[in-house]
Structure 1
Amino acid sequence: MAAVVEKHSIDVVPDSERHGRAFNQFTLWVGANLHITAVVTGALAVVFGGDVVWSLVGLVLGNLLGGAVMALHSAQGPKLGLPQMIQSRAQFGVKGAVVPLLLVILMYVGFFASGSVLAGQATAQLTHTNDTTGIIVFALVTAVLAAVGYRVIHVLGRVASVICAIAFVYLGVRLLDRVDLGDLLGDARFSLPMFLLAVSLSASWQLAFGPYVADYSRYLPRDTSAKATFWWTLSGSALGSQWSMTFGVLVAASAGEAFLDNQVGYVVSLGGAGLVASVFYFVIALGKLTVNVLNTYGGFMAMVTGVSGFRGQRVLSQRGRALYIAVIMVAGTAVALAGKDSFLSSFKDFLLFLLTFFTPWSAINLVDYYLISRERYDIPALADPDGRYGAWRWNALVVYAVGLVAQFPFLATSFYTGPLVGPLGGADVSWIVGLVVPAVLYWLLARRDTAHVPAETILEAPGVPGTEPVASGAAQ
């Protein structure tokens, strides 16, 4: 068991412990996207007024655009051997990185909660209890698997990708037996606001993986092709999410209120009754378990990264690991229990609101990694507030703030609508502004001062005091 339980957290994974292939990213991200919450996300495009055809086109576009950004983050993992958010210290400073980290932690708690609501319903049916008990049971299982760590997460992804794919094929066939696909596809009526809503829903879905996607590629051997990591991550995530979201669009367009009143129950009813229904309740719980373990694991990584920036901590004990995971689990479960009766109405706004805060971070991180630092980081300095990167890097923090403010005039949610949404016909294009504006501003500022960029990547030598340089092109 000791060999299975992960011992690394925010520290560098040494080359001697690297393993796996880039293809592992495909199975993990297919499994992480074939589940009920992705179905609901696709359904929202129709629920809020879109037609089937243009909703599907918009979802495809958003999955590809957001997935490409997310996969660029994934390609950083093998090169640096670090979790995603600790890399932000190179842009924001060792302590300054806590600013986006606080929002990342909020995201993990929110996704844990939203996933637990739907999975809790399935778990309750399997255990013949109520939704509250189902949510708690599901949360406990999630926490245990997250504590075991990296290896079990990838095994879970492989298992879920196969089982959930088979289940979705069967459910798709059953759905097409009930509906006239020609009628659904024939009712095409383009609306720019609804089209952009569909794009934003799927783009936000993909971009939300950005803050932790490298957590699951960092164990790959250092010589793993960056292109292979990128394409396997993108194809797995885009395929899995589009598959689920397409199913959601067709279900919402054909079932209407029957689906909205009980998302889990309606999907299971497509499969059948009795023992067959139990199988599909299990499939729903399994699909949600995969992504909720990712959220819990990523959440504890983000918390450790934020706290350690002020404490100078580089490694974490097993006891500390369990404590951080317990905090994420308790917080997510509390939010799930509080919001389980208003899930669908709040989930859309949650997704789009998250997008506002993560697009500027993503733009800054990617511009720095690929265009400014050009994949060269001083990894020991990421733990030293007096080192190369300093405690606070104000250029990135200011650009991040500008990126947030620039989006507000274009933001459309139930609790706030920006002044430029009306002239655009109600369309929300804030996420495009949130990518472009900070990317351009950070590039203009950062390229003027590159004294902090090392000539080549510097890694700590495992078990040896000091550091060792690694050629910057090693992962190409």
Structure 2
Amino acid sequence: MAITEGVTGEQTGVDREYGDRVLAVEPGGNEFIPDEDRHGTPGQLFWTWMSPNLEFATIFIGVLSVSVFGMTFWQATLGLVIGTALGAAAHFVLSARGPLHGVPQMVLGRLGFGYRGNALPSAFMSIMCGVGWFATNSVSGAFALNTLTGLPPVPSLLVIVVIQTVFAFFGHNLVQAFERYAFPVLAVIFAITAIVILTKANPGAPAIEGGVGGLGGFLLTVGTAFGYAAGWTPYAADYTRYLPASVSTFRTGLFASAGLFVSCVALSVVGAASVTIGAPSSDNPADAFTSNLPSALANLTLLAIALGAVAANALNVYSGSMAFVTIGLKLPVKTQRAMVAMVFGVVGFLVAWWALADAAASYEAFLLVVAYWIGPWLGIMFADQYLRRGQRIDNLLYDPEHTNWGGFSAFVIALLTSVLLFSNQEKFVGYVVRSVPELGDITFFVGFVIAGGLYLLVNGSKISRDKPVSAQR
């Protein structure tokens, strides 16, 4: 059901002059988008989610699966496909809700967590994704620019950060336009690069000694692939809420998830294949990857890596700032989301600067940590959506009195339980994993099941008593 009644509070602040203007700062923060301001088609979501994943961070997932997790190429490919497919499936479901409700993804999270309880996952989203992912991708872009131009790493990082922060500052329409025009450039360059890498690769090469190996290594591969793909799910409705409410929800979810799945699988598999060519020639990950390419193509690929980092981070800092204003803090400016985006750009730069020293270790740990909170969050989101099918929700999204401490509690319990028992990090190994190390890291799966199960148990009868709305689509 589209939100068409009970429009109050935060929902009234949309500037009707924004519309489909590209070179204009998107006003406000996380308001509902009225029908008269909707535009676009589901097909545009394909490049919206292809472009940000045509970057080196995606390639590096495959590199990790072979070089660190001890998988053969074919084992890595299977794990990468499974993990990405799980993340893309979640992205399908959440993206489809955007046109129906016309609000950002984290606003929809208020249903399962309550207005104030939703501040916790919104804070996780804004910090871990808006800053953490921003920093992670900025590092890969900086390495690429450094190798391509000879500009020192820190100035390279500054250039990348400034460009992508500008896109996020202007907001939704410019971000969508940039993804559209970046897509053909990135797709062509990476397609040629993939062909060259795959022709040089040795798919039958044995697993690298010293890696995790076995079931543990496979589950780590699945987990990192899922963490990367599912890392986009808290953004899903942010880029579909401007679509007309009349568009097909199936096509909306399909194009969004297809762009995510195709780009992630394609480049991560290329990354896995690149490791089978031989030992890396440089400590700079981007330089090590492109050293397998002819000089001209290597330069084009480095350019694409830098461009891909910008494409990814335009979304990261935009949605991170959207989540921040959903925490509930009120800023006395008309363009509060845009101002928060600028702050996140500065913070993201500082975090990326710190991570330059050991990008590989930071990235591996970060991917798993992202999956730790997103697993329970998805469990709550899906369980709540299932229980509320056929019911009115617009009266709850901007209501400060709406509470759902059952959802908040289920999230916290699932997060703490899954991490304490099943996490497998350098600084902390879960109690179950200490006894059964071959489990690898299944924290995200356990968190999803516990959170969803607890939510259904605690809120099932309560939400089911709400009266269905016949107009619900």
TM-score, with length taken from structure 2: 0.88
Aligned equivalents of 2:439, 2:118: Cα separation in 1: 34
* Aligned ranges 1:293-372 → 2 under 5 Å: 293-308=314-329, 311=330, 317-318=334-335, 320-369=336-385, 371-372=386-387
Cα distance change of structure 1 residues 256 and 411 upon mapping to structure 2, 3 Å threshold: same
SS at match of 2:53: coil
1:379 maps to: 394
Given that 2:46 and 2:258 are in contact with CA atoms closer than 8 Å, whether structure 1 keeps it comes out as yes
1:131, distance to aligned residue in structure 2 (A)? 0.9
SS at match of 2:461: coil
Aligned equivalents of 1:52, 1:337: Cα separation in 2: 32
Given that 1:192 and 1:425 are in contact with CA atoms closer than 8 Å, whether structure 2 keeps it comes out as yes
Match for residue 454 of structure 2 among 412, 437, 441: 441
Cα distance change of structure 1 residues 373 and 287 upon mapping to structure 2, 3 Å threshold: same
1:237, distance to aligned residue in structure 2 (A)? 0.6
Query: How many corresponding residue pairs?
Result: 447
Name the amino acid aligned to 1:75: A
Given that 1:100 and 1:361 are in contact with CA atoms closer than 8 Å, whether structure 2 keeps it comes out as yes
- Structure 2 residue 86 is matched with structure 1 residue 68: no
1:396 maps to: 407
2:427 maps to: 415
1:287 maps to: 308
* Aligned ranges 1:245-264 → 2 under 5 Å: 245-258=268-281, 261-264=283-286
Name the amino acid aligned to 2:49: W
TM-score, with length taken from structure 1: 0.88
Given that 2:171 and 2:338 are in contact with CA atoms closer than 8 Å, whether structure 1 keeps it comes out as no
Bigger shift: residues 424-433 or 201-210 = 424-433
Name the amino acid aligned to 1:39: I
Aligned equivalents of 2:227, 2:233: Cα separation in 1: 10
Given that 2:219 and 2:439 are in contact with CA atoms closer than 8 Å, whether structure 1 keeps it comes out as no
SS at match of 1:258: coil
Given that 1:90 and 1:377 are in contact with CA atoms closer than 8 Å, whether structure 2 keeps it comes out as no
Aligned equivalents of 1:69, 1:129: Cα separation in 2: 40
Given that 1:410 and 1:418 are in contact with CA atoms closer than 8 Å, whether structure 2 keeps it comes out as yes
* Aligned ranges 1:172-191 → 2 under 5 Å: 172-183=194-205, 191=214
SS at match of 1:63: helix
Given that 2:125 and 2:323 are in contact with CA atoms closer than 8 Å, whether structure 1 keeps it comes out as yes
Name the amino acid aligned to 2:140: L
Aligned equivalents of 1:7, 1:270: Cα separation in 2: 46
1:87 maps to: 108
Given that 1:55 and 1:194 are in contact with CA atoms closer than 8 Å, whether structure 2 keeps it comes out as no
2:138 maps to: 116
2:8 maps to: none
1:78, distance to aligned residue in structure 2 (A)? 0.8
* Aligned ranges 1:199-218 → 2 under 5 Å: 199-218=222-241
1:375, distance to aligned residue in structure 2 (A)? 6.0
Name the amino acid aligned to 1:71: F
Match for residue 148 of structure 1 among 148, 165, 170: 170
Aligned equivalents of 1:184, 1:445: Cα separation in 2: 49
Given that 1:363 and 1:436 are in contact with CA atoms closer than 8 Å, whether structure 2 keeps it comes out as yes
1:462 maps to: none
2:118 maps to: 97
Aligned equivalents of 1:346, 1:120: Cα separation in 2: 15
Over the aligned positions, Cα root-mean-square deviation in angstroms equals 2.5
2:463 maps to: 450
1:288-326 deviation digits (Å, cap 9, x = unpaired)? 111111100011101111134xx4x8x9612x3332011
Name the amino acid aligned to 1:411: S
1:201, distance to aligned residue in structure 2 (A)? 0.9
SS at match of 1:425: helix
SS at match of 1:257: coil
1:25-83 deviation digits (Å, cap 9, x = unpaired)? 11211112111001011111112212111111011011111211122111111111110
Given that 2:143 and 2:285 are in contact with CA atoms closer than 8 Å, whether structure 1 keeps it comes out as no
Given that 1:60 and 1:242 are in contact with CA atoms closer than 8 Å, whether structure 2 keeps it comes out as yes
- Structure 2 residue 247 is matched with structure 1 residue 224: yes
Bigger shift: residues 166-175 or 420-429 = 420-429
Given that 2:321 and 2:344 are in contact with CA atoms closer than 8 Å, whether structure 1 keeps it comes out as yes
Given that 2:203 and 2:276 are in contact with CA atoms closer than 8 Å, whether structure 1 keeps it comes out as no
